[in-house]
Structure 1
């Protein structure tokens, strides 16, 4: 800043730089904040949009779970109906049990059931990996998942002095994806695996933990600044993508442009109508003058004038006859 020797009376504001106040610091906007009065923090989107985004993303995970379930079913069906493989395993169990048929049958059943449980556990592990990769890749490279894109939301870094807006760093995206996957998919998957493996009490406990984690991650997103547990741990936030505002702005601009265009078109149509009317009037006048100046026109005009004079003379004669008749009648009455 520069100042004169006359104290603060001659004090002049320094030139503001694009980055903020003097020296590139904040100061262009209220409260000395380069991002506005919210302190540089992203605006909180509506809870309904967050819910819509979560439903779409969860539907993607459910679709993957359905596909994995279909593949796992066919794996189990192939495992159970593979007679040659079962025969080989049965003979091996019979030989290792030294001819004990009951022990061999029990061992064969346990072996088949273990293969089925392993197939189910592998399917849940693949589902967990899919959910993590889905959230991580979408946020790290696109800043939004499919659901957030449909709801016009975006994941951005929480301003902390080192990172300001822009794309989410991969480390934060990985941490956010991990927490989201654990809260939404992983813990429930572990509970299902424990249940299939026969550990009922641990499965119930894991289900309780899964429900608690789910609500611990979801409830903070519905209040306060709208940051879920995953956002808080990863240092991210969810904000509006600006697409809806841009669409509304474009729609408003288009409406105003259409209204102005309709007004201009109406004015042009009115001016064209007036011009056409003047041209038609001028043309009709020229035609009338041409007709009047022609021989036939003059003859017709003369006949019309003669007819008018005859009618006027006939009217004068009728008025004179009526006056004379009334005068003679009055004289005869006086003579009597």
Structure 2
């Protein structure tokens, strides 16, 4: 059973004619896409419903703010569809379509410039040759868009080609399909068979899923997750911290608990990137970190595993601590290997949204020199 896709706001029953007129310029600038399953999760009586905010356009998206490519992914692009930012990990953009379009997506540029950055199955040989020649790469991440919007045959062709490379030990798939359309997984035995084949070969297949709010973890989505797990896949979850969606400590805590109850370790919580159209979803960094810390207070260690990070141009920068005067950062992942071991102490800036907003450096510590 596949839910029907909706690509025009006028087809969404819960939106009034007045709202449609107001949202027309947003829809013209940033594409809309959803499906009946996910739209049915919305409480249409609540204008501030968090599921509605995830998927339904808002006039706030027209506010001039942010960059098209806030993490400067183009700086690490080797060839069409291939990025190599971290020494052991290559990233393949294999699709520029998602089950639905999150309004806070940090790659909105892909949906505006269709085909510009994404590698098609028939074009992937050049990217695979690069991966073969670079034996330091042990992980390959398939992302986009959503790889699970590809047919299983196309996905199989890509994954099996990667799996044949001896030094690749982990293949990752970044996907929101278990939240947006779990029936893609439930209805496809071929996908389960593919996962079993890869895991039986001795390699590990990870699905990095995107549940942003506890209400997305429906019985159908949990059934889809169970199928992936029972086929041998390893699951982890990541989410940005989003204003009006999960920026309440109780909501975030409930999400972490519900994930852990279903065998899904929380992985990363991201500070929302300063991307065009995303201002309405952002929270000042220090406030966001405080919400994150508070959400961890009453949950078990198994649910308490996420790290609060920024996907900065230079790497994944983790917020390590706050004091009354200072904020402390460290590189969780870095393109420049010299950054590992360093703690960066800055004077606090309550108005900061991003690492670049901190100007007053207090000190740099390097634990390797202790």
Q: TM class, shorter-chain normalised?
A: under 0.3
Higher strand share: 2
Q: If the length of structure 1 is used for normalisation, what is the TM-score?
A: 0.19
The structure that has the greater radius of gyration is 1
Higher helix share: 1
